[in-house]
Structure 1
């Protein structure tokens, strides 16, 4: 299979689908070329994207670390370098499919709207004119989720957040789940950005929190699908669980193969990747695939007609510049700090994204 770039056009990137090694992409009846609109939708955990100032109105425990006098000696120079690094990584995502990169990008571990404004204003991505959807979360660490979008691709209709609570635990605070609805090149879609509770205290002990988070995500999805049975929803985030974990496998119950996905089902393109040993973050000489994107059934087009936007592929963006090249953690994501030592990296997570195709009309 080959995808050949024809030309760049406003709001779209036109591709031709050809043949290679006897592989047929659309159907064995098609001869010649077909043009497509392409949109990439991704997620990227920013690993503690904090400015250098403590917000007096939030009183969050992690903010003290990210100040010039804090234990990380976090100053303007490091903050600027972090912004440059993260924006550079974002600028490179999806370029094999579209020169505009991520039409939509969910992000996590960001302190506030200000750091997002600084991020989208960086030279590497400034010309994409990313707009911001952000709400403050009650999280104890002072971190939120948000969604960035290019207005030439996406028209925002509405947004809201959902707070996760744990019965019997009045002192539980975590990131809200963000729902954003709008039109992607004229087609109605919904995006849910999540950062489920961490594994602090151990995977088994903390699992009920992520199960509750998955139940909340399903409630959001079900409320949408009750009104729109054929709704196209992409849930994305750092789930702090793998595709085989209870929160996903038992609560959300997504299918791993497109061939098994009915309209009412969910599809998790990361499931088979995880079984093959791929991951988005490393820990104790093993890979986890916490950064996932789960799609509703209407994205699956087994006939490959792509009359409307359909799922084409999923990618873990683990290019060489995002990988630690030496030392004890060689091969892992090249992060900002390692055991308290500033190493001027990117994030401890690799970003991920899906590519959507639609036949040019």
Structure 2
């Protein structure tokens, strides 16, 4: 178990809250989310539209490129939150992965193998075959149950079924604390933000339904919903449907706090498009994580993981995330998204 000593006379949550002047030690864990930008293996799946990511496809996706991509993803994951938690994420949600095989290759990379990550994954009905999944360090998080929730919706114009990613719900114990995690990858903005907005609002409604079912059992449930929402913290799906708040004082029982809202207000983003930053990748938590009784895990702080090596250093897209594929060519980069994370802390006995 990893821990971090947190000393006195520094601000934790507000300018008025201080730890006592005696040394206090806390266990600290990183909870993170990362869109892995089309982590496909080179095999052709006859059921899905993955032809581009094959050796003969337009991306000329070979095992050599695939192995390099795996290495890059594993390196990044191994370092998220490490500066404070001195460990890779205890729990990590991922998106844009093709199947369980790519996850097995990922967790068996030398950068991650010693962490002994478990995998929770279902194949989703997405046409391209991209899914969400949860990785967790088996020594730290004990899975209790898991299931998937299908998002069923229809195109407003054609009335045809829109096939998209399932929402993955995993419940388990982090050092004895029961925590529920929902991993999301909401529908994209293809066709324009306004025209596609209803899709993300439906995704948000499903997400809220899942959380409400958990709150019906326990109003004080510890819930983390995370993912690539394809919306910012101030968009209607997050602000009005999830009702995720920016400020703690406004949150009531069964309410949600969105620490990413403050980061977005400061101009931080997890992806860039046409010289504008967005914070589509978010981690949102239920009220009970804000309690100041640290006998169980509570929220400490949030961040966007954007070290220099994840940033494009030259050219037209200088300063953007250093993506792995651009202009029909493998760049040797990582992802078009930065990972996001939160720290949870608990007082040591």
Distance 1:70 1:39, change over 3 A: same
Q: Matches of 1:65 and 1:22 in 2, distance apart?
A: 48
**Residues 154, 161 of structure 2: 8 Å contact kept:** no
> RMSD in angstroms over aligned alpha carbons?
1.8
Instruction: Give the corresponding residue for 1:47.
Output: 37
Instruction: Give the corresponding residue for 1:335.
Output: 323
What aligned pairs does 1:98-247 form with structure 2 within 5 A after superposition?
98-167=85-154, 169-247=159-237
**Residues 9, 21 of structure 2: 8 Å contact kept:** no
Instruction: Give the corresponding residue for 1:7.
Output: none
Distance 1:26 1:249, change over 3 A: closer
Q: Matches of 2:9 and 2:83 in 1, distance apart?
A: 18
SS of alignment partner, residue 241 of structure 1: coil
Q: CA deviation at 1:37?
A: 1.0
Distance 1:54 1:228, change over 3 A: same
Distance 1:125 1:23, change over 3 A: closer
Query: Which sections of structure 1, spanning at least 5 residues, go unmatched?
Result: 1-10
Instruction: Give the corresponding residue for 1:292.
Output: 282
Q: CA deviation at 1:255?
A: 1.1
Q: Matches of 1:20 and 1:245 in 2, distance apart?
A: 33
Q: Matches of 1:287 and 1:165 in 2, distance apart?
A: 30
Distance 1:241 1:20, change over 3 A: closer
- Of 17-26 and 205-214, deviating more is 17-26
Distance 1:123 1:25, change over 3 A: farther
- Of 249-258 and 71-80, deviating more is 249-258
**Residues 280, 350 of structure 1: 8 Å contact kept:** yes
SS of alignment partner, residue 123 of structure 1: coil
Instruction: Give the corresponding residue for 2:51.
Output: 64
Give the TM-score normalised by structure 2.
0.95
Structure 1 residue ranges (4+ consecutive) displaced by more than 6 angstroms after TM superposition: 21-26
Query: Which sections of structure 2, spanning at least 5 residues, go unmatched?
Result: none
Q: Matches of 1:162 and 1:246 in 2, distance apart?
A: 21
Q: Matches of 1:113 and 1:50 in 2, distance apart?
A: 10
| Equivalent of residue 263 in structure 1, options 249, 253, 259 | 253
Q: CA deviation at 1:173?
A: 0.2
